C-alpha cells in the first residue's frame, strides 16, 4: 500500500510541477509579446513623427510660395473683364444690411467669460521653425 501512495504522490507532484512550468512559459510568452508590441509602437510613433514633419515642411504656405516663385510659372492678376459682380435684390440687401448693423450695435458678452477673464485676449502668432 505504501508504494502505491508514494507513486500517487509522485504523479501528483509531477503534474503540479508541469502545470507550474507551463504557466511560467505562458507568462514569458506574453511578456515577449508585450515587448514586441511596445517596440513596434515605438517604431510607428517615430515614423509618424517623421511623416508629420515632412508633411508640415512640404505643405506649408511658405514652402508652396517659395516653390511657386522659384518655378517660372507665369501667374497674372485677374483682369477686370474676367471679374463678374452680382447684384442682390433690394429687399434682400436691406435686410442683410439691417441685420449686420444690429449685430454691430450691441456687443454680446458672455457672463462666464467676463467672470473668469484672467488676462488679455489670445492672439494667433506665427511659429518660426528652424
Q: Where are the domains of the chain?
A: 1-73
What's the pLDDT at 109? 59
Q: Mean pLDDT of successive 10-residue segments in the chain (130 residues)?
A: 89 96 94 93 92 78 75 76 77 70 58 58 57
- At 46 the pLDDT is 92
Q: How far apart are CA 87 and CA 96, in angstroms?
A: 13
pLDDT at 8 (0 to 100): 93
| Residue whose C-alpha cell is 507568462 | 27
pLDDT at 68: 75
CA dist list (Å): 86 to 61, 69, 82, 89, 93: 31, 33, 13, 10, 12
> What pLDDT score does 52 carry?
85
Please state the pTM of the whole predicted model.
0.38
How big is the CA angle at 9 (ends 7 and 11), to the nearest 5 degrees? 65
- Judge contact between 68 and 76, C-beta under 8 A: no
pLDDT at 7: 93
Amino acid at each position: 500500500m505504501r508504494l502505491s501512495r508514494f507513486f500517487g504522490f509522485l504523479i501528483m507532484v509531477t503534474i503540479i510541477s508541469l502545470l507550474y512550468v507551463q504557466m511560467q512559459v505562458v507568462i514569458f510568452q506574453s511578456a515577449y509579446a508585450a515587448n514586441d508590441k511596445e517596440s513596434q509602437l515605438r517604431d510607428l510613433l517615430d515614423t509618424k513623427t517623421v511623416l508629420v514633419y515632412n508633411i508640415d515642411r512640404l505643405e506649408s504656405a511658405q514652402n508652396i510660395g517659395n516653390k511657386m516663385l522659384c518655378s517660372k510659372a507665369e501667374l497674372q492678376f485677374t483682369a477686370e473683364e474676367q471679374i463678374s459682380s452680382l447684384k442682390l435684390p433690394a429687399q434682400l440687401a436691406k435686410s442683410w444690411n439691417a441685420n449686420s448693423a444690429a449685430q454691430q450695435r450691441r456687443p454680446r458678452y458672455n457672463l462666464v467669460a467676463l467672470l473668469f477673464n484672467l488676462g488679455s485676449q489670445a492672439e494667433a502668432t506665427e511659429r518660426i521653425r528652424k
